[in-house]
Amino acid sequence: MGKKDAGATKLPVDQYRKQIGKQDYKKTKSVLKATRLKAEAKKSSSGFRDAFLVVAAILFFVLCVYAFFYLNLSTEINLDLDMD
């Protein structure tokens, strides 16, 4: 008798999960396959994007170091010319 009363009260989380499951069953196999392929393509393309970002960050760092030294050396040369 106690089990009937306990089972009647459903948690909102369980109801939400049941709704999600029903919606997933409504999708056709072609839609599910397309979603899976899209997710796999996104995973594989992230490697190229990450590699590109690392290379871009290294180039930016080298450019900043170059600009720093260029500006420091160019001001020293101008000071030397003014002293002569």
pLDDT digits over 17-74, tens only?
Answer: 888 777 766 667 788 888 888 888 777 767 777 889 999 999 999 999 999 999 888 7
Tokens (6 digits) for 24: 């997933």
Q: How many domains does the chain have?
A: 1
Note the pLDDT of residue 6: 56
Residue 66: helix, strand or coil by DSSP?
A: helix
6 lies in some domain: no
Please check whether residue 42 lies inside any domain of the structure. yes
Does residue 18 form part of some domain? no
More confident residue, 6 or 16: 16
Residue 63 falls within a domain, yes or no? Answer: yes
Cα(27)–Cα(13) distance, rounded to whole angstroms?
22
| Rounded-to-integer distance, Cα 38 and Cα 22, Å | 22
Q: What is the pLDDT of residue 84?
A: 46
Q: Alpha carbon of 75 to those of 49, 63, 66, 67: distances in Å?
A: 39, 18, 14, 12
Give the global pTM.
0.42
Residue with more model confidence, 84 or 14 = 14
Reported as half-sphere exposure (CB side, CA atoms, 13 A), residue 61 has a value of 6
Give me the residue label for tokens 């369980």: 14
